[in-house]
Chains A and B, each alone.
Chain A
Amino acid sequence: MFESLSERLERSFKILKGQGKITEINVAETLKDVRKALLDADVNYKVAKTFTDDVKAKALGQNVLLAVKPNELMVKIVHDELAQLMGGEHVDINIKGNPAVILMSGLQGSGKTTFSGKLANMLKNKRGKKPLLVACDVYRPAAIEQLRVVGAQIGVPVYSELDSKSPIDIAQNAIKQAKKDGNDVVIIDTAGRLAVDEQMMNEIAAIKAAVSPHEILFVVDSMTGQDAVNTAKEFNERLNFDGVVLTKLDGDTRGGAALSIRSVVDKPIKFVGTGEKMEAIDLFHPARMADRILGMGDIVSLVERAQEQFDEEEARKLSKKIAKNQFDFNDFMGQIQQIKKMGNLKDLASMIPGVGKAIKDVDLDDKSFAGIEAIIQSMTPYERENPTSLNNSRKNRIVRGSGRDIQEVNRLLKQFNEMQKMMRMVQKQKLPNIKR
């Protein structure tokens, strides 16, 4: 995420390296680069200008501090300013109310329907809610069908009226239905609309008036350019929305929209969408995002995601097996599945500080496991439980069954052996700590 911006800044800071202190002259060149980097990242022109002016003022003020190197000091200043620009602490969505009504809004193709599904899925699985999705996009062909498919995928009911052309009626009827069925959250998906489309903007304002939502979210594509600010402003003037959702953040480079919307509209960014899977939803954390922009990685998000998928009971069992040297291919497969559940590998790897840039062009995603899985799946249950039983004849059968070559099978076996060894070592070191 944000590779090119952090790369640029890194390069900018290199100019400062080796210089004794921050002066008007050496800071000017750096800030010009910072500003250009921000503009390249689609940060709004005015926001970028204000930002660099602020940084300059702060940097020159700290002229006398010679304790740290100027480039480190600049990184800190830029980072702090970025974090401040993107707002303070995380703000949660308001789902108090029975049912709590959440209204989605945004341009065409920003990802409202997909995000509605993700939000419903999250509220259901993590907050113990009983959401109802409502299909109010009566215009785009198959939009209702899309929400129904999404609902079926995540096991959340979808309210729709195929014959109705009135989103207001549909929304109101859906709330009645939710009360009857005991759904405590109602998520209303609406049609995409341009901010300058008077009629459509009136419509969504009318929906708002009719259902008095507890939470209105503005969904915006993170790749949006300079216009993000204007669109957000106009939607905000009509709807006075409560929060912003930034989608498609699993793409590359951009992110400037996040900076500018937050500062111009003064509404918090509450969620980000980071993939096509229904689990690919994250809370927005301004400070972490600033870390990311500066290429400092995002280790906190990584740990959090790992914890979510971590099953303590499973882990205890696994730990016993490792201790008894019984870690086999079934366990290995289980581990792979768990990692896959955490989301896109490249995503995960890029959260590790310093790794993001290094793996920018590396082909790394869920399919990286395909070869390993094919090999393990071509083993018999006996072989999976007894990795040492794999002689040449068995290996050749696995080669034929999996369609991978013998080198690959051998490599996997070797890696597996090493992994077993390492696991035992790690455990031996760790055990005393656990007992304490």
Chain B
Amino acid sequence: MGFFNFFSKEKKETLDSGLSKTKENVFDKLTRAVAGKSRVDEEVLDNLEEALVTSDVGVETTLRIIERIEERVARDKYINTAELNVILKDEIVKLLAENETTTALDFGAELPAKPYVIMVVGVNGVGKTTTIGKLAYQFTQAGKKVYLGAADTFRAAAIEQLSIWGDRVGVPVIKQKMGADPASVAYDTLMSAKTNDADVVIIDTAGRLHNKVNLMNELTKIRNVMSKVVSDTPHEVLLVLDGSTGQNAFEQAKQFTKATQVTALAITKLDGTAKGGVVIGISDQFKVPVKYIGLGEGLEHLQLFNKEEFVDSLLG
């Protein structure tokens, strides 16, 4: 399968260095988990549990991984601690592989619709606007014509923030003034993109906590208005999650999916934090694929997510 190696060498290096902190931590913890042990026993499993939980993998997923390893220990009778890393990697990949995920395309790949409309949603401060700036850059680099819609009309200076990204990347930003109806901005953006023959449209929305029913309804409305301009839009509803978020990430994924039928996830700020475990947990419990991961401040630090590469980088 070709897509397994679409990561260029350069990209792999970014992934490795971006995740170095995450990797050190998970790896260190694992090493400590088995230190002075020759075989996998109760204590090793306890330590393993700690290593996984403190990486935000989540209690449910951790227990599932431990159970699987226990089963293997029972089946194979004796497991050397040296084998543990291999088994763990194996089990994690399996957890990830159990989800039917859409194949992550290259930014340059042909898109299924024109314009291909992406609506970006998420709670406050996860990095939606920054992610959009980076996405716009990547698509533009790949030769696509991108239009951005500043439908976060609520937060102070959110429109200016997206406009600056538009200038940097050199793509038009459709906007109204602060306090305007976000659905109307989304409508304008799609109209304009259609007229100007754009390839990709990305709509920014205001951050909102997923337990605010009325704000979630607003998203549904924006969604509905968009489908009036271009049928079947948005083609992609991208939920942005902060990589340092704990177990609440699951509730976010659940509630946003309920309101807007989330089709893909972007996990940001995976550099520098000791996390990354949340990616495993979410892939396990959520049937929505992780599509992008953010590994740093640079424009090219937003990458398409590849499970195998990710686990390789994570566990060394």
- A residues near B (Cβ < 8 Å) are 36, 39-42, 44-45, 107-111, 113, 140-143, 145-150, 153, 194-197, 221, 223-228, 230-231, 248, 250-254, 256-257, 276, 363, 365, 367
Contacts and interface: CB of A to CB of B under 8 A. Distances in A.
A256 B274 CA distance: 17
- Interface extent on B, as a size class? 35 or more
Interface stretch (B3-11, B47-55, B83-91, B196-204): B47-55
Interface string B264-279: 0000010111110010
> Which of B158, B168, B273 is most buried by chain A, counting CB atoms within 10 A of its CB?
B273
Contact of B213 (A221, A250, A363): A363
A108 B210 CA distance: 20
Top 3 nearest A-B pairs (CB, nearest first) are A225-B246, A109-B125, A42-B246
Contacts of A146: 155-158, 160-161
B165 interface: yes
Contacts of A111: 124-125
Contacts of B161: 140-143, 145-146
B272 A221 contact: no
B125 A110 contact: yes
A256 B54 CA distance: 13
B212 A365 contact: yes
A149 B123 CA distance: 21
Contacts of B82: none
8 contacts: A109-B242, A146-B161, A194-B271, A223-B242, A226-B56, A227-B273, A251-B210, A251-B211
Contact of A109 (B55, B124, B165, B274): B124
A145 B272 contact: no
Given A39-B59, A221-B242, A253-B248, A197 B272 contact: yes
Contacts of A227: 56, 244, 273-275
B127 interface: yes
Given A223-B245, A227-B244, A40 B210 contact: no
B272 A254 contact: no
B247 interface: yes
A108 B157 contact: no
Contact of B209 (A107, A194, A228, A248): A248
Given A140-B161, A225-B278, A363-B214, A254 B124 contact: no
B126 interface: yes
Contacts of B163: 142
A42 B59 CA distance: 10
Given A225-B244, A227-B244, A252-B211, A109 B160 contact: no
Main secondary structure of the interface of A (DSSP, over half): loop
A142 B164 contact: yes
Given A109-B126, A223-B123, 5 more contacts: A108-B127, A109-B269, A225-B275, A227-B275, A365-B214
B39 interface: no
B245 A108 contact: no
A13 B158 CA distance: 46
Interface in B86-125: 123-125
Interface of B: 21, 50, 53-56, 58-59, 123-127, 133, 154-158, 160-161, 163-165, 168, 178, 209-214, 242, 244-249, 251, 269, 271-275, 278
A215 B272 CA distance: 27
A147 B161 CA distance: 12
A226 B127 CA distance: 20
Nearest to B20: A196
Contacts of A107: 244, 269
A380 to B, nearest CB: 29
B127 A109 contact: yes
A140 B123 CA distance: 18
Contacts of A226: 53-56, 246, 274-275
Contacts of B157: 142-143, 145-146, 148-149
Contacts of B247: 40-42, 225, 253-254
A225 B280 CA distance: 14
Contacts of B275: 225-227
Contacts of A153: 156
A254 B247 CA distance: 8
Contact of A224 (B156, B214, B244): B244
Contacts of A254: 246-248
Contact of A230 (B124, B212, B249, B274): B274
A44 B163 CA distance: 39
Contact of B246 (A150, A256, A365): A256
B56 A225 contact: yes
Given A149-B156, A194-B271, A42 B248 contact: yes
Contact of B53 (A45, A113, A195, A276): A45
Interface centre among A150, A153, A276, A363 (most CB of B within 10 A): A276
Given A109-B126, A251-B210, A365-B212, A142 B246 contact: no
A256 B245 CA distance: 11
A113 B155 CA distance: 11
Given A41-B247, A42-B246, A196 B21 contact: yes
Contacts of A143: 157, 161
Nearest to B165: A141
B238 to A, nearest CB: 17
Given A42-B247, A108-B127, A109-B126, A195 B272 contact: yes
A72 B43 CA distance: 34
A29 B61 CA distance: 20
Interface-centre pick from B53, B55, B246 (highest chain A CB count, 10 A): B246
Nearest to A1: B211
A231 B156 CA distance: 27
A398 to B, nearest CB: 24
B125 A150 contact: no
A414 to B, nearest CB: 26
B123 A248 contact: yes
A39 B53 contact: yes
Contacts of B273: 194, 227, 231
A148 B168 CA distance: 22
Contacts of B164: 141-142
